[in-house]
Chains A and B, each alone.
Chain A
């Protein structure tokens, strides 16, 4: 158990819709990162939030956006869903943003776009 919880666990949406995924970080962690993991691949970095500010972004379009709240919980929002957005979305929390800080992952949200 990492203390990182994600909701919902599974979600089915149709193309063009919008979706919000939620993450509750481990207690004391001020940094949250979001990753997209397509079937059979390694996770791909979407973005990172540190103390409520986005401070790093991977190669994802602006329709992927996020929020981090004062209690360090977080949301990932995806607008105008496409079929290729179908994937496991993983949230990871850490204390700090670099060095040897290891990420603690949740179990993910499996998103299917039809």
Chain B
């Protein structure tokens, strides 16, 4: 069963506009973490933001914020004031379990974001 779902294969956004990338997840583990990574054409995965399942507040990192709706199992990424350099693939990911010995991260299929000048 797919555990991370990203329903937007591609998005086009005008520069300086805000953009929301959707992510839903499925887990029965009460302890989990949610991540967003950016992958430019160079291939490197760049960490953007993290949200723990027990965190009371939505995570924010500069222009990035995570809209965490636990009951809906939703973890959307919001990018404010988009820039041309934001054009890339974006992956939502989840780690199940706490500090276990083998907690792998599962990735979604990604959303390709293109910023128009």
Residues of B within 8 A of A56 (CB): 101-104
Closest approach, in angstroms, between the C-beta of A107 and any C-beta of chain B? Answer: 4
Residues of B within 8 A of A55 (CB): 101-102
Q: CA A58 – CA B103 in complex, angstroms?
A: 11
Residues of B within 8 A of A90 (CB): 43, 45
Question: Known contacts being A100-B52, A110-B43, is A45 close to B106, with CB within 8 Å?
Answer: yes
Within 8 A of B (CB), among A88-109: 88, 90, 92, 96-100, 102-108
Residues of A within 8 A of B98 (CB): 98-99
Contact assessment for B104 and A48 in the assembled complex, using a CB-CB cutoff below 8 Å: yes
Q: CA A85 – CA B50 in complex, angstroms?
A: 30
Residues of B within 8 A of A106 (CB): 44
Residues of A within 8 A of B100 (CB): 97-98
Number of interface residues of B (CB under 8 A): 29
Contact assessment for A58 and B91 in the assembled complex, using a CB-CB cutoff below 8 Å: no
Contact assessment for B47 and A45 in the assembled complex, using a CB-CB cutoff below 8 Å: no
A43's partner among B52, B95, B101, B107 (CB-CB below 8 A) is B107
Q: CA A107 – CA B42 in complex, angstroms?
A: 7
Within 8 A of A (CB), among B82-101: 91, 93, 95, 97-101
Contact assessment for A105 and B104 in the assembled complex, using a CB-CB cutoff below 8 Å: no
Closest approach, in angstroms, between the C-beta of B34 and any C-beta of chain A? Answer: 10
Q: List residues of chain B with CB under 8 Å of any chain A CB.
A: 4, 33, 35, 37, 42-47, 50, 52, 91, 93, 95, 97-110
Of all A-B residue pairs in the complex, the 10 with the closest CB atoms, nearest first, are A56-B102, A42-B107, A105-B45, A98-B103, A45-B104, A98-B99, A107-B44, A108-B43, A99-B99, A102-B47
Q: List residues of chain A with CB under 8 Å of any chain B CB.
A: 2, 33, 35, 40-45, 48, 50, 55-58, 88, 90, 92, 96-100, 102-108, 110
Q: Could you name 23 residue pairs across A and B whose Cβ atoms are closer than 8 Å?
A: A2-B44, A33-B104, A40-B109, A41-B109, A42-B4, A42-B91, A42-B109, A43-B91, A43-B107, A48-B102, A48-B104, A56-B101, A90-B43, A97-B100, A97-B101, A98-B101, A98-B103, A102-B47, A104-B47, A105-B37, A105-B44, A108-B43, A108-B44
